[in-house]
Chains A and B, each alone.
Chain A
Amino acid sequence: SQTIHQWPATLVQPVGSPLSLECTVEGTSNPNLYWYRQAAGRGLQLLFYSVGIGQISSEVPQNLSASRPQDRQFILSSKKLLLSDSGFYLCAWSFSLAGSYNEQFFGPGTRLTVL
C-alpha cells in the first residue's frame, strides 16, 4: 500500500529565515505530486505540482520554490520567510495515468508559524 510522509509536523521560524519542508511517498512510482497551502480557516491554495523528476509547475508567484530531486520526493523551500508564509502546508500525491482514477492522497501537513 502507498503512504505519504511529511515533516516536520509543526515549525516556528523567524521572519527572514530559510525553509525546507520535505514530502516522500512510498509504495508507488512516478506519482503526480502537489504542494498546497491553507491559511487558517481558509481553502487550499495550489502552490506547485510536478508530473516527474525535475518537472515543476508554479501556480503562484511568491518567495517559495519546489524541487523534485527523486521520483517520490518533493521539497518546498524558501530562502527568506515572510510573515504571510504562515499556514498549513499540505503535500499530496495522485496516480499519474491520464484519465484514470486519480484522487489525491494528502499527507498529515506541516503547520508553519512565521514570527
Chain B
Amino acid sequence: GQQVMQIPQYQHVQEGEDFTTYCNSSTTLSNIQWYKQRPGGHPVFLIQLVKSGEVKKQKRLTFQFGEAKKNSSLHITATQTTDVGTYFCAGRASGTYKYIFGTGTRLKVLA
C-alpha cells in the first residue's frame, strides 16, 4: 500500500537557524498537504501543493512539490520558538479521498 516517509524524525535547532523536513511517497500523488501540530494539540493545515514542481511561500516557510509528484519539502528560514511542533505531510493518490500522513518531523527550537 501507499507509504509516506518523512526525515528527519527529530530536529533540534538553535533559534535563528534554518530547518528542513523532507517527505517521500512510495506512489505518485495527486496533491500533498502540510500540517503543523503543536505539543498537546491537533494538526492544523498549513498549505496544499497540487502542481508538479510547485513552490509556495508563507512568510518564513517555503514548500516544494517534486517534479515527479512523489516528494515534497518544507523549509523554515530563521526559526523562532513559535515554530516548535511536529510537521506532517499528507499525500493523496489520485482517485481516492483518503490522505496518508507522513511519519512527522518533531522540531525543537532552542532559545
Q: Which residues of A contact B (CB under 8 A)?
A: 32, 34, 36, 41-46, 49, 51, 57, 59, 90, 96, 101-109
Complex CA–CA separation, A106 to B36 (angstroms): 11
Shortest distance in angstroms between B96's beta carbon and chain A's nearest beta carbon? 9
B104→A43 contact, CB < 8 A: yes
Which residues of B are found within 8 Å of A96, using beta-carbon distances?
A: 97
A46→B42 contact, CB < 8 A: no
The chain B residue with its CB closest to the CB of A57 is B98
B103→A46 contact, CB < 8 A: no
Which residues of B are found within 8 Å of A43, using beta-carbon distances?
A: 6, 88, 101-104
State which of B14-22, B43-51, B52-60 sits at the interface with chain A. Answer: B43-51
Given contacts A103-B45, A106-B42, A106-B44, contact A44 B98 (CB under 8 A): no
Which residues of B are found within 8 Å of A36, using beta-carbon distances?
A: 101
Q: Mark B83-111, 1 if CB is under 8 A from A, else 0.
A: 00000101000000111111110100000
Which residues of B are found within 8 Å of A42, using beta-carbon distances?
A: 103-104
B44→A32 contact, CB < 8 A: no
Instruction: Report if B33 contacts A (CB, 8 A).
Output: yes
B88→A107 contact, CB < 8 A: no
The chain B residue with its CB closest to the CB of A109 is B42
* 8 Å CB interface, B1-55 against A: 6, 33, 35, 42-45, 48
B98→A105 contact, CB < 8 A: no
A51→B103 contact, CB < 8 A: no
Shortest distance in angstroms between A54's beta carbon and chain B's nearest beta carbon? 16
A46→B48 contact, CB < 8 A: no
Q: Can you spell out 14 A-B residue pairs with CB atoms less than 8 angstroms apart? A: A34-B98, A34-B99, A36-B101, A41-B106, A42-B104, A43-B6, A43-B88, A43-B104, A44-B101, A44-B104, A46-B99, A49-B97, A101-B48, A104-B43
Most buried by A among B33, B42, B99, B102: B42
